[in-house]
Amino acid sequence: MIIETLSTFPLMYESVMGSSMMKRARERGIIDFTAYDLRDWTHDRHRTTDDDPYGGGAGLVMRCEPIYEAVDALCGRPAPEGVVTGREQPLTGPAPQHPQGPAPTTVFLTPCGRRFDDALATELAGCERLLFVCGHYEGIDERAYDLADYQVSLGDYVLTSGELASMVVIDAVVRKLDGVLGAPDGATDESFVEGLLEAPQYTRPAVFRGREVPAVLLSGDHGAVARWRREQSLARTAALRPDLLCQAPLTPADRSFLDSCASSGADPAAHGIIFR
């Protein structure tokens, strides 16, 4: 997969994309990542990417011209007739790496976008090339959103920049690609994949400061372990994120278990449920 970012602070990606899982994915050739500096598509000596908002108001708004020019260049598209382009300032970041490659799926990070979740991460993981356009300051000129295939929001809060949001989305997408995680089923056995929170996990030691690992996990009975994990997942979701149950694919056995939890007064101890 080709992953590219377009922002005013491309150096923010160095630590994230050069460490841990991302580093391994790049070394294995699973992803090809490039961070572009939007300022390379400006034409004044101050390399200006923002301006005061029309109509007044606080903050600055990112200009649409450099965004359009950058996306055209990254996609290998000629400028529209009558539009004058041409670099007046030196290139400080990488030149377009894939101008003749597949057309990118362009993602804008914005509070107005679709709420990011596991389903959207899976959707984006099926794309051949992703281009993330990251806002800053007060926002982006509305006309730039015409370039977007997706508008994505992490949630109901405000971040300093779209770079931070894009790192979260990229991480969630890349871990779904074949060969990225060490365990073959690692990406399919996590919270939200089946619409539920994940069951509690344990490792050595078996007893720590008086707290014991649940005996079923030490039993060697794979069927019992699977049932325990499913019940833990159901009960934890019902207690902490009941909204998820409305759309989760529940079996008759799942519903029966949840009914039994409710009839017992939702006492976790009655079913050995652990919410820590």
> Residue 232 and residue 228: Cα distance in Å, rounded?
6
Model confidence band, residue 41 (pLDDT cutoffs 50, 70, 90)? very high
150/202 same-domain check: no
* Token pair belonging to 182: 């060490």
CATH label of the domain that carries residue 210: 1.10.1270.20
Q: Which residue has the higher pLDDT, 45 or 224?
A: 224
Q: For all residues of the chain together, what is the average pLDDT?
A: 90
Model confidence band, residue 107 (pLDDT cutoffs 50, 70, 90)? very high
253/122 same-domain check: no
How many residues does this entry show for the chain? Answer: 276
197 is in an annotated binding site: no
Model confidence band, residue 276 (pLDDT cutoffs 50, 70, 90)? very low
155 is in an annotated binding site: yes
125/261 same-domain check: no
Model confidence band, residue 19 (pLDDT cutoffs 50, 70, 90)? very high
173 is in an annotated binding site: no
> Residue 144 and residue 141: Cα distance in Å, rounded?
6
65/162 same-domain check: yes
198/170 same-domain check: no
User: Per residue in 137-161, pLDDT tens?
Assistant: 778 999 999 999 999 999 999 888 8
25/125 same-domain check: yes
User: Per residue in 200-216, pLDDT tens?
Assistant: 999 999 999 999 999 99
Within a domain: 184? no
32 is in an annotated binding site: no
16 is in an annotated binding site: no
CATH label of the domain that carries residue 12: 3.40.1280.10
201/143 same-domain check: no
pLDDT score, position 268: 47
205/90 same-domain check: no
161/253 same-domain check: no
Within a domain: 187? no
Whether cis (ω within 30° of 0) applies to the bond prior to 104 is: no
135 is in an annotated binding site: yes
pLDDT score, position 185: 64
* Residue 11: domain span: 2-174
67/11 same-domain check: yes
Within a domain: 185? no
The 3-class SS string of 88-150 reads CCCCCCCCCCCCCCCCCEEEEEEEEEEECCHHHHHHHHCCCEEEEEECECCEECHHHHHHCCE
User: Per residue in 219-241, pLDDT tens?
Assistant: 999 999 999 999 999 999 999 99
Within a domain: 100? yes
Please say if the pLDDT value at position 265 is more than 80.
Answer: no
165/207 same-domain check: no
For residues 85-107, give the mean pLDDT: 88
156 is in an annotated binding site: yes
